[in-house]
Amino acid sequence: MNPSEVLTRCLRYFYRASLRRKGACIANDLQFFDSFFSGEPKSLTIGISTYLEKGVKIVAYSQEPNHVAELKIGSHCFINHYAFIDCHHQITIEDRCLIGPYAYICDFDHVTVTEQERFSTAPVCIQSDVWIGAHACILKGVTVGHHSIIAAGAVVTDSIPPFSIAAGVPARVVKKIQSND
């Protein structure tokens, strides 16, 4: 092992340890490269064998008083480079999910009321064994059913049932997947 690999491993260890001391629940084998977490560490839970590729950004910060945002990423997930997960209320990504590069997942949007800006939030749930393509957007209040595929560039504004392929802007189910496929 060369000195730069040793330094990288040490930095990962200290970063994980720092997040744990602040309340995050992170598996020992979490792999990440130049990823960035911002917000309340006690909001963050990441399961075993999850891998965050270069440039992944994760924000978990509640705008609501007396509320802690909840971001849960399951085990055996892969989040590709420059994906952005923006949690202000609750986002759950279950086990074995694949998230493509530059994907965006958020659980809020902005509402303007009499020239004041505030957040409107609704939970997002990405169930197990989901594949989200590059540049796809998953917006507030959406549940993506297990074993579904979200096409590259899709904008998901409504829930997608299990065993479905969704594409388009806004995303619509274009094909059902047979459970034996």
- The CA–CA distances, whole Å, from 163 to 126, 128, 146, 180 equal 13, 11, 6, 10
Instruction: Please choose, from the candidates 124, 84, 87, 90, the residue with its C-alpha nearest in 3D space to the C-alpha of residue 103.
Output: 84
76 catalytic? Reply is no
DSSP result, 134-151: TT-EE-TT-EEPTT-EE-
**Amino acid present at 148:** S
Between CA 85 and CA 38 the distance in angstroms is 11
- The CA–CA distances, whole Å, from 38 to 10, 87, 94, 100 equal 20, 10, 21, 21
Q: CB-based burial of residue 134 (10 Å sphere; 0-12 exposed, 13-18 middle, 19+ buried)?
A: middle
Catalytic residue among 81, 110, 135, 147: 110
| Total residues belonging to the chain | 181
Which residues form the catalytic set?
A: 110
